[in-house]
Amino acid sequence: MTGERASPQAEGRSARLISWAPLAWLLLFFALPFVIVLKISFSRQRDGQPPYEPVLDPSGGLSNLIDEARKFSLESYSSLLSDSLYLESYLSSILIAGAATILALLIAYPVAYAMARAPRRWQPLLVILAIAPFWTSFLIRIYAWTMILKDEGLLNHALMSVGIIAAPIQIYATHWAVLIGIVYSYLPFMILPIYNALEKQDRTLIEAALDLGATRLRAFFCVTLPLSLRGVIAGCLLVFIPAVGEFVIPDLLGSSDTLMIGRTLWDEFASARNWPGAAALAVVMLVLLVIPIGYYQRMQSAGDRP
């Protein structure tokens, strides 16, 4: 009778399997690599292949393994503190990412607001337009910005031809170029959550505020803005977190003195062949970013409470 249907037990099994799948994914592609990075961060730099020790080769027997394990140290972490370059990299990353987040918020909020207030039938198209840049490779779009921002680039040409400036101003290979690149690249991640929060808002709430004597501006600050705060915070985290670790944008648009942790990490790893140092940098950055992510999670679950 039920020949073609799976038995309830089989269905239960497959449901369990499905719930295990994301966990298995996380274990394989996040936890395991992270453990490897963690292990390297506690290792010592040496010349050779791989460029760190201990290697922990189980073929040498247990006693050899214990001897090797004695070589673990906190050296790379202490060097993070001793060399001001690392501290400056972290600080500068956080500053640049923070400034980019604020700039993106200031641009994205009016855009999201206009999208949410546009006629209903236009909104799907506007959302597609907001994410349209993703259809072109990220790398190509950043290269395109070098063409725009260079001294002889489009922007300087345009500014000079309308007479705003007399000589080219240097934007390319400055912090400003990095900032522009980050804001441009991550803007959709700010627009979409804010749009989502605004679009769901009941517009009669604004009418109620106006009716009760609030001007349009006060209605915005008393009702619209607080009710979209969840989208604002989500957008800020979605921009800030990846921007802190950004590598490509400072590498292509910034100057050699644009310190960002992603670049410092790459320099340690590739040029200095200091794998333990690079791994320690990565671990500290992850720990730093877990704080805002944890805050976001808590806020999300608090908001979901009935």
- Binding stretches for another protein (CB under 8 A): 202, 204-205, 207-215, 218, 222-223, 226-227, 306
Residue 304 Cβ, how far from another protein at the closest point, in Å? 12
Q: How far is the CB of 106 from another protein (least distance, A)?
A: 23
Of 13 and 218, which CB lies nearer to another protein in the complex structure?
A: 218
Nearer to another protein by Cβ, of 177 and 198: the residue is 198
Give the list of residues 6+ apart from residue 130 with CB closer than 8 angstroms, or none. 111, 115, 188, 191, 192, 195
| Nearest distance from C-beta of residue 219 to another protein, angstroms | 8
Q: Quote the least distance from Cβ 306 to another protein, whole Å.
A: 7
Shortest gap between Cβ of 221 and another protein (angstroms)? 12
Smallest gap from Cβ 96 to another protein, in A, equals 33
Of 237, 241, 267, 238, give the one whose Cα is nearest residue 254. Answer: 267
Of 74 and 212, CB closest to another protein: 212
Q: Is the CB of 57 or the CB of 211 nearer to another protein?
A: 211
Beta strand 44-45 with 52-53: parallel, antiparallel or unpaired? antiparallel
For the CB of residue 208, give the shortest distance to another protein in the complex, in Å.
Answer: 4
For the bound state, the minimum distance from the C-beta of residue 230 to another protein, rounded and expressed in Å, comes to 10
* Closer to another protein by Cβ: residue 230 or 273: 230
List phi, psi (to 5°) of 168: -60, 140
Q: Which is nearer to another protein, 102 or 210 (CB)?
A: 210
CA distances from 94 to 7, 61, 269 (A): 54, 46, 21
Cα 121 to Cα 108, 113, 115, 204: the distances in Å are 21, 16, 11, 20
Nearer to another protein, 200 or 298 (CB): 200
Nearer to another protein, 13 or 203 (CB): 203
